Structure formats: C-alpha cells, structure tokens
A and B are shown apart, each in its own frame.
Chain A
Amino acid sequence: MPLENAVLTTDNCRYCLMCRHVCPVGHVTRLETLTPHGWGLLISSKQRGLIDWTDSAVDKLYTCADCGTCQSHCVTDQPLPSAIAEARAEVAELGLAPANLYSLNEAISRWGNPYAESEPDAVTGTGEVALFVGDDARYLWPDGLKAALTLLRAVGMDPVLIGAGRNSGYLPSSLGFPETARRLARANLDDLQASQATTLLTLNPGDTYAFRKLYSERLGIDFPANVAIKEVTTLLAEHLGAGTLTLRRAGGGPPHAYVDPAHTVRVADRDAAPRQLLAAVMPAPAVELFWRRERSHPAGSTSLRFANPMIAEHLTYARLGDARESGAQLLFCEDAGTLSALSSKAPRFGLTIRGLYELLAEQLV
C-alpha cells in the first residue's frame, strides 16, 4: 500500500468508532486502544510526533488480527488492515518489531512457511484447474486436503497442486515484511503459470482474499486476469445443486454448528456454500453462532497467532464459548488454520471439532 494512502486511511480511522462493534480483538480485550480507532490514532499520533514506537506501543500495533472485519463493515471501505500492515513494515524496517518476528520472517523467507524446514513441493504436470494448497493445509490439517482432493475427483476434477507448503504471502505481509510477502506471491504465481491453469481453486477464504485483493492492494502484484478464482466449497455446492455431486445423509449426532473461517468477511457471499453442503449430509439443521457470516469473528488463526499468541488464544476461546452458548457440541469448518486453533482448545469446552471436507468425503455416494 502506498504510504500516502496509509496516512489518509489512519487519519480517517483515528476518530471513527463505527466498526468498534465488530472488531474481534476489541471484543475480547474490551480495551479502547485495541480497536480500529485505537490503532488508527496510535499510528496518526506517531506521524504527528505525539508518541514514539516504544515496546509497548509496538506491542499494541501488533495486536490487530488483520482479519478484515473492520473494513468489511466500513461504509467507505477504509483499508485500515493494510494501513496497519504498512505501519508494521515501517516499524520492522527500523528494527523495532517484536524480536520473535524477525526469526519467523527468516524462516518464512527460507522455507516459505513458519511450520517446517522443508521446501514447498514443485509443481508437477499441467491442467486447466489448479488447487492452491498453501502451508496451513499442508502442515496443520493434512486430512482436510486429502478429503478435498477426494471430493474434487468425485466431480471429475484432478487439479494441479500449487503452492503446497508455501504461504500465500498474507502472513509476512500482515507482520510487516512485505518483501518476503512479494517473494512468496511471485513464487505462487510462477507455480500457477507453470500449471497452465485457467481456474485456481482455494481451500479457504483467506487464500481467496490473498489472490483477489492482497496481492494487488498491498504488494502491488497483479493476479493474472485470465485466471478465475473459486473456493472449493463454492464449486462443490454448485455440483450439489446441479446433481453432479451426490452425498448421503449421516446418522444422528449431537447439535452441530458451522464455524465461519478467518477472512470470511473479506470474500463476498461465500458463507452460503459450506452451509448448503453441511445441510446436505447432516440429519438435523445446524445451530448458528452469534458471530457468524458477515459478522463472523476469526479463531486465533490469523497472523495474530504469531504476533500475539495470548490474544489469539482468547479469540479461539471466544469462538468456542460462542459455540457452547449456542448449544452446539460438534463444530465443522473447512479451514485448516481455524480447525487447528479450535481443536487445540476444544476439549476444555466439551466440544468436538471436525473438518468439513472430511465429513463430506465420508458421505460421498
């Protein structure tokens, strides 16, 4: 994001309180400083010489979850998350970012992911359809990837896998390392080009957002205009509607709910498809969480899990608490990061977490 746009955005947001009610971090911390208005005011005050980037101020800058909820509820579409990423980049450039993030950035820069010292898989083969795997699906919830591929084959697709083991670029961009993000983005687009695909499938809304918006808005990299982007759940729901995907209904079970993945709010109209798929196989209607659909909050699976693990954990607790309050005992989601975060804390809430893709694959006819 150009610096002048970031300044304009934070100047707009510093005194605006109109998205306070949807900010997940503000909701779990109840602190004025940790809201979009608070972050905007800190950044604009730094520009006016009213504060310095002290350790404490930097910590606060790194508490935004970069989930996009504020922007999605903004009537004038202020790109505050991108402006915060820009401010973080300035802080990181000055050597003032939290120390652990520099080593994390080195790891991502070297391996393409924060989880394993392993190179991303090379692209093999070509085809009209590619599937972006990324790092979360590869390392955090590999069963979901296998199940998604089973489902895609069931509707006659055998996509070329790209970016397997490589982050989309969202993570380093969010943490203030745009150059690393650009390198990952270019590598992913090189994979895409090598695959010769004209349709790129994604496994979650976070990756959809990265390709559709983050690349151009934050990194100045154009996504190829001739390649369509579609989420796997959207594709499967289309096949379900067309009768080219047949699923059998599962047996009885406890009350269940669907958890909207992180970044849902950044992708318009994506929340219906997974619910249609779930409704097709579950014996009873799902209950809904309070923080759902256009107001959905992320679990602790965004960049926050690296920037501020404690608040990320609180976001996860909040999702599980919301689920328990709704009466659900069994939660479904297709996003590897969300599943991983929820699973780590679910037992203490008496909840069971299951991958949506795995459920659907089991119910294939």
Chain B
Amino acid sequence: MNRNEFRSEMIRSELEDIVGQHFVSVDESDKLVYSTDWSWMPQMWLDRGQPLPTPDYIVHPDSAEQIAEIMDIANKYRIPVVPWGGGSGTQGGALPLFGGILLDTKRMDKIIEIDEVSLKVTAQAGINGEQLEWALHEKGLMLPHYAAASRCATLGGYLAPRGTGTISTKYGKAEDMVLNMQIVLPTGEIIRTAPVPQHAAGPDWPRLFLGAEGTFGVITEATMRLDYLPEARLMRAVLFTDLSKALEAGRLIMTRRLHPFVIRLYDPESTRSQVKKVLGLDYEGAYMVMGFDGDPDIAALEEQKALAICTGLGGQDVGRAPGEAWWEHRYDFYYPPLSLHLPWMYGTTETVTTYDKIEPLYWAVKRAVEEGFPEWDIKFIAHFSHWFHWGVMCYSRFIIEEPPADAQEALQLHNRVWQAAMQAVIDNGGMINEHHGIGLKLGRYMRQQYGDAWPFMLRLKKMIDPNGIMNPGKVGFGF
C-alpha cells in the first residue's frame, strides 16, 4: 500500500467511524452518479462518453454533530467537502471538482415541528421539498416556495443558492421565508441564528449563509414561515402584441401594490416555441399569465384592477382557461423530452434589474446572443417571472440544437455564449443571476459584479473557512 492509498484508507475508516460503514461509499457507480448535477456542462461531458471528476468519498450523515466531526477530518487532511442536497442546481454548484468528501444531506429529512399558531415549520435541511409540502398540506398550510425543482430539491437546496419559486411575486424568495437556521461552520462549530430575523440586535449576518452555496458551511436545519393554503386561486391570461407594453403593465401592477402571486410574461419567441410546445396554445405576441389568490373577493377585485391595467395598455384578455392551463402544467416544461435536452446546448442566463433598465437589458442580451453566434443558428427565449416592487427578473435562455460533437469544442462554445450574455448583463446594470446561483459557471464574473467589494468577500471566506475546504471552486472563491 503506498502513501496515498494508506491516507485514503485512513480517511475512509475515520468517516465510517462517524456515520457507519453503510453510509460511506467509494463505489464507482455511486461516484459516477454523484459526479454530475443538473447543469449542462457535466451532463454534456458524460453524454459524449467522457468521465468527470468524482468525489473520493460519498458520505451520508444524519445529524449536525456528524457533519461537525466530518469537518474535523476534512480540516485535518485538507480535503474538500461538497454539500449535496437534491443535485438539481444548474450552475455546477454541487460538482465535486477536486474530489474529497461529497456530503449528501438527504438522511437529514425530519420535520421537527409544525407550529400552526405562528405558522412556521422547523425541518432538517435534507428534506425533499415536495414531501415537506405534502406534509404541510395535510394541515392546510404551505411553504410558498414553489420552485420548479421542488420535486427533487431539498430545503437546504432552496436556501443555499437563494432560490426563487413560481409564486415568489407575492410570497417572496426562499430566503425571505427563513426565520432561523442551524449551520455547521467549516471549522466544525454548530451555530444557530437568532430565533427571528426582524430585530435590531446587530447586523444581519445570517444572510451570509444564504447564497454562499455551501462555501461558508452547511445549513443543517431551518425554520421557515408558512402560509395558509389559499381559499381561491384565480388565473388569467392576457396577450400583448407589444412586449414593451406588457412590461409596463407588470410594472404598474407591482408599483401600485397589487398582490399577484404570479406574473409570467413570455417574450414573443418563447410564446411561439415553448408555450405552443408545452401548453398547446398557439399565440403570436407576448403571452402573460397572472394569478391572484387568497380571499376570493379580494383576489377577484385585485384581478379586475390588474386586468384593467393590462387592457388599458392594449392587452387582450384571453380568459381564465389559458391561465389555468399554465398553472396546471407549469412544471411540464421541465420533463424530457419537453424540456431542453441533450445533445442540444443550452444555458439559462437569467438576470434581475430595476424597471428602468429591464427592457434595454433584455434587448442587449438578446442581441449579444443572437448576433454574436450567427453560424450556430442560436435561439434566444425569455420570460419575466419574478416581479418585485422595484424591478423584475428576466429568465433568458439560449439554445443551439446542433452544437459541436466534440466535448471540448462544445464546452468552449458554451463558455463563449455565456461570456457574451453575461457581459451584456453587467454592462446594462443587471445582476449575473437572480435565483439559480453562481456555482462553478458564474464564478468568474463575481469580481466584475462586485468590483471593490470583492476583496472584502474574499477576506470573509478566508475568515470563515481558513483551510478552504468548503465547496472549492464555487461562487468565485479559490481552491
């Protein structure tokens, strides 16, 4: 046995002492499955028959205490720890690029308490989102983070990349629902944030862990605020011939403080392609879905006022049925072969900005992608799906149906398209991401995004994770 083999066996043995032999795997088929998340890059790589970097150990802890002990081992041997929830990230945030310990949190899936008075749930971070939702439904409650990934993602996975769900426009992002968290720091300490988030007892440091994507530690438990299941959900669809007018309608609905739980506005290309393919609705123009929920009378009144704004701007009310069809089939877009799929090349270059910038930003990214790569017959589709009082998120995607067959060539082209899109985003005042996270893919834009603040973030990382063990290579942090 050589030195590396001996060291490897030592680490494995120590990990088994913590979680039990059954919960540490070094099996090649397990390593293959955990070598890819839901991002295009590794999926394409495997699709072309190319092996990926794999974790050295796949470990399944069942408590924060076990994770704390695992951190000790990782610090002692200076090996990476990559947290893994549902593996549904699209930016490569869970890829075990440098081997080490892949920490699958799914055994930590207990609901600790459902509080029907204060409307909150405390659960371990490895619980599956949809299973949590079903348990809440049994009590007439919901965790209103209805992400497309809810069927596969974990509660921790909602929070780590600052996820946004379908009904965020009324209920907020996942991070807005957090009351408190338990976190295992890279140094092995187990800490708890304050019981409630709205107070004045010092700075709002718990938010450091939201969006850190496991680079600052592992979220092991969270208490989330809940809502009652709505008595009514009213869906409506409006068709605009002019995208600009549709964006203005959305802005007025939000700034006048109406409370749609969803506004989803598809650009004309997306309406022609995606909406037709998945929902079977054959429209020209920009298809907008609006939803109002809660008390039936209030929902109906708000819907009426929103509809008046839309029709006043030239929108055509196409009734409830197309809106209800969208609500019923809103996740169908993610099932193959309806979803974007290999061997195509694709990427979600989503962004968020204020209302004054959103339209120029949309056109700038569209131009950069469509005009920058004419030889690849690239398609650009977008929808505007998470609306705030001050601005809106643009969920744009590029698609190349016949990309290079060679894996390396394909990866290079993918990077070039991303570069064009992200530069247009930054140049036009957008954020490089609204809810998919930074992961591996967008790390290289963090310095440009944050400018003078970036060295401060690097110092934070160094202070929280002195040995750099946590999810190396992600969120723009070093190795």
Which of A27-35, A105-113, A151-159, A258-266 lies at the interface? A27-35
Interface flag for A21 (CB, 8 Å): yes
Answer whether A56 and B151 are a contact pair too, CB < 8 Å, given A32-B34, A42-B33, A48-B49: no
Task: Kindly state the separation between the CA atoms of A13 and B341 in the bound complex, as whole angstroms.
Answer: 11
Cβ-defined contact, A30 with B106, below 8 A = yes
Q: Is A226's CB within 8 Å of the partner chain B?
A: no
Q: Are A51 and B336 in contact (CB under 8 A)?
A: no
- Interface pick from B129-137, B206-214, B392-400: B129-137
Decide if A75 touches B338 in the complex (CB within 8 Å): yes
Measured between C-beta atoms, what is the minimum distance from B11 to chain A in Å? 20
Contact residues in B for A11 (Cβ distance below 8 Å): 342
Is B466 part of the binding interface, using a Cβ–Cβ cutoff of 8 Å? Answer: no
Whether A19 is near chain B, meaning CB under 8 Å from some CB there, is yes
The 8 A CB mask of A46-67 against B (1 = contact, 0 = none) is: 0011110010110010000000
Q: Is A17 an interface residue (CB 8 A)?
A: yes
- The one of B84, B135, B152, B329 that contacts A290, using a Cβ cutoff of 8 Å: B135
* A15, closest chain B residue (CB): B43
A122 interface residue, CB < 8 Å from B?
no
B30 at the interface (CB under 8 A from A): yes
Chain B contact residue count (CB 8 A cutoff): 45
Q: How many A-B residue pairs lie within 8 Å, measured between CB atoms? A: 105
B30 / chain A contacts, CB cutoff of 8 Å:
31-33
- In the complex, the chain A residue whose C-beta lies closest to that of B88 is A17
Knowing A17-B38, A20-B86, A60-B29 are in contact, say whether A75-B152 is a contact too (CB < 8 A). Answer: no
A60 to B58, CA, bound (A): 16
- A contact residues, total (Cβ < 8 Å): 34
**B26 CB, nearest partner CB in chain A, Å:** 10
The residue of chain A having its C-beta at the shortest distance from the C-beta of B148 within the complex is: A18
Instruction: Indicate if the CB atoms of B131 and A38 lie closer than 8 Å.
Output: no
**Known contacts A56-B29, A75-B332, A75-B335; is-contact A17 B46 (Cβ 8 Å):** no
A12 → chain B closest CB, angstroms: 4
Q: How far is the CB of A61 from the nearest CB of chain B, in Å?
A: 9
Per-position binary interface string of chain B over residues 335-362, scored 1 when its CB falls under 8 Å from any chain A CB and 0 otherwise:
1111101100000000000000000000
- Judge whether A364 is part of the interface by a CB distance below 8 angstroms: no
Interface string of A236-247 (1 = CB under 8 A from B): 000000000000
- Which B residues lie within 8 Å of A15 (CB)? 36, 38, 43, 336, 341-342
Q: Given A30-B60, A49-B49, A75-B332, does the pair A41, B87 have CB atoms closer than 8 Å? A: no
A18 with B49: CB separation less than 8 A: no
Q: Which residues of B contact A33 (CB under 8 A)?
A: 29-30, 33-34
Q: Which of A271-305 contact B (CB under 8 A)?
A: 290, 295
- Known interface pairs A56-B28, A76-B336; A50-B34 also in contact (CB < 8 Å): no
Which partner residue on chain A sits nearest B40 by CB separation? A15
Which of A16, A50, A60 contacts B49 (CB under 8 A)? A50
B149 located at the interface, meaning its Cβ lies under 8 Å from any Cβ of chain A in the complex? yes
Check A31 against B60 for contact (C-beta < 8 Å).
yes
Interface flag for B32 (CB, 8 Å): yes
Contact A45–B28 (Cβ < 8 Å): no
Chain A CB within 10 A, most for which of B34, B46, B341: B46
Show 21 A/B contacts (Cβ-Cβ < 8 Å), sorted by A.
A16-B339, A17-B87, A19-B151, A21-B128, A30-B60, A30-B106, A31-B30, A31-B106, A32-B104, A33-B33, A33-B34, A41-B33, A45-B46, A48-B49, A49-B49, A51-B29, A75-B329, A75-B331, A75-B335, A75-B338, A290-B134
* Minimum-distance CB pairs A-B, first 5: A17-B152, A30-B106, A12-B336, A21-B130, A75-B335
A-to-B contact residues, CB < 8 Å: 11-13, 15-21, 27, 30-33, 37-38, 41-42, 45, 48-51, 54, 56-57, 60, 74-76, 78, 290, 295
